[in-house]
Structure 1
Amino acid sequence: MSTNRPDDLPVRRIDRVLAFMALGIAVLSVLCFFAIMISTAAGMQHADYATGIWPVVAAIPLFGLPIAFALILVLLIMSFVRRGKANGRA
């Protein structure tokens, strides 16, 4: 049974791009967070996090999760505005 109604709005490209960007950034942030947790549990010293790629791995969750949250909010607002305009015309 299909739930597509004829009055459903099509998914725009910008909606799809925002959704995949938010998902990708969130997944990358969570993976970096788990990498830090695993390396800490494996016994890495705190001084080792100041060199190499670890500063970038530590910064990605700090910035990535708020950016992903903001992208999801933008996507929701755009969707509500578009649905409101479509319902106003009907």
Structure 2
Amino acid sequence: MADKSPVIVNRNERIIAYMLASAVGLSILSIIAIIAGTGLGVRNFGEGIWPAIILLPYVGLPIGFLLVIVLVVVSGIRKSRAARDAGK
């Protein structure tokens, strides 16, 4: 059997990935809710919870994009450190 080194699970990367998934997921769910609300006959989106649902994609998707960039940078730094340590 080949000796396989265990995969190092980085807690920070996992937390960032979950934050990314939740921000984008909530934004997509709110877009679906807006489409469903329009289909069900809601015409006044200015009252109730609708303003928050409409605002969520405007905030969540840019945050998701920034989290993708952060995740790539953190992952790149970890991999470069691992490669540098393996070379020693």
Q: Which residue of 2 aligns with 1:38?
A: 36
Structure 2, unpaired ranges of 5+: none
Q: Which residue of 1 aligns with 2:27?
A: 29
Displaced runs of 4 or more, over 2 A? none
1:67 matches 2:66: no
Q: Which residue of 1 aligns with 2:47?
A: 51
Work out the number of aligned pairs and report it: 84
In 1, Cα distance between the equivalents of 2:4 and 2:78? 17
* TM-score for the superposition, normalised by structure 2: 0.85
* TM-score for the superposition, normalised by structure 1: 0.83
In 2, Cα distance between the equivalents of 1:5 and 1:49? 56
CA RMSD in angstroms, aligned pairs only: 1.7
Percent of aligned pairs with the same amino acid: 33
Structure 1, unpaired ranges of 5+: none
Instruction: Quote the offset at 1:5 in angstroms.
Output: 3.8
Instruction: Quote the offset at 1:67 in angstroms.
Output: 0.4
